[in-house]
Amino acid sequence: MAELKKGAFMKGGLRIPAILEWPARFSPKEIDTPCVSSDLYPTLLGIAGVKRGKGHPPLDGTDIIPIISGRKKKSGQPLDSGMDSETANRHGMTESLKPS
């Protein structure tokens, strides 16, 4: 049976909801595009209007405002996660899991 809890690599651990609220900018909606916690930093930089120069190292995450605002439908970036000896990867509709 799949573990249906946070921190597990089956559906219960990979599908944790997030609630974002910004009534002045976005109307209420549900978005099913997967994202990860590392997407928060680039998203906050984008909201603040911070432009990163060429001398900065690349960020792990992606600004998800284009997805939230409806200008972009899906993220093309694969999602990778791991803990101890378990790893999971999701790219589009393809998922792989390597349990311990």
- Classify residue 30: in a domain, yes or no: no
Is the residue at 45 inside a domain?
A: yes
Provide the domain limits for residue 96: 36-49+58-100
26 lies in some domain? no
Residue 6: both structure tokens together: 């946070």
CA pair distance 26, 20, nearest whole angstrom: 10
Per-residue pLDDT of the chain (100 residues; tens, 9 = 90+): 455 555 555 555 556 678 888 899 888 888 877 777 888 999 999 999 998 888 888 888 889 898 888 887 666 666 666 666 666 666 665 666 666 6
Residue 82 within a domain? yes
11: in domain: no
Tally the domains of the chain. Answer: 1
